Structure 1
Amino acid sequence: MGWIVLGLLAAAAIYLVMTYNGLVAMRQRVNQAFADIDVQLKQRHDLIPNLVETVKGYASHERETFDAVVKARNEALSAHGPQAQAAAEQQLSGALGRLLALSEAYPDLKASANFQQLQSELSNVEDKLAAARRFFNNAVGEFNAAIQAFPAVFFAPQMGFSPREFFDVGEQARTQLDVAPNVKF
């Protein structure tokens, strides 16, 4: 009887260690995925001043649009956490959209090789950012499911594991993202 109890305790201890290690690995995957988003956001933020300067050369009287982009970029740089960053990035996307829309009113700007290259780079970064967000949200979903599943739900909080937030663009942005962009050249 003693050996059975000892065997059950050893099995429970092994299970706890394996579960703990699995949760640690998932938490690290979430942290890495968030770091990947940060890398893409930094690239995006680094492109914006060049894009603003290029547009300024052709549309210097559009000061309000430039100021909105710069303000949104600064707010995005100072945002912390998935929800705050998602909200700030949504504001930045709106401001960038208005900046890029200026090319319709300025044919010389639209034809500028520098503007086209920056626009292409920004599009590439946006694609990578979307992929990084999907990977992060997938990692968060797996992690949250693991800590809320039976029997981990009973001991995960005591071991320091708590649910993480998704990188959510918000309801308004989601409806805008559902509409295909209209690209003209």
Structure 2
Amino acid sequence: MAGFADVLLRGAILVFASLVLGGVAWTRLVLRARPGAAPTLPATLALRVAATGAGLIALAQVGTLLVARPAPQGGDGWPLADLFATTFARTALVRIALGLAVGCLALRLSRREAGPLVWHALSAGALALVATSAVLSHAVARVDDRLMLLLLDAAHQVAATVWIGGLAHLTVYAGFRAREG
């Protein structure tokens, strides 16, 4: 059952990542949100969706840690030190922190204008949130050409999340426009 829950959580993380990075790309490239400008209603909506996605990534990533925790051995309690010594757990912790940070930045940008530093931090954080998923993928298990495979996997995931997330945000925008007018 834990394996099934892990697969569901990882799939949910992919969906949420698409909402995050696709939303940032949509906001910057399509809606043309700029530093120093107050957010428009469509930009506010896209940034709130991205913030929600980032928060849900953090939550789902916590879930993957809970599902992956090792069983207790004897009377020593949970061997959490062994879990947190793994690349998986360390990467998951980084992704939890990135999810929370990106969510806070997106929420802040949805409410008021900000300078270029905040926008760059949002873009870099969203990109890192997606790219770090390659460290948790099957590419890391390879012995030969691991670095190249990790880079290709990260590039693939970034491209896919921008594309799929952009389509999701296009759908949200179309619904917004239909209600508006």
- TM-score, normalised to structure 2, is 0.38
Which has the greater radius of gyration?
Answer: 1
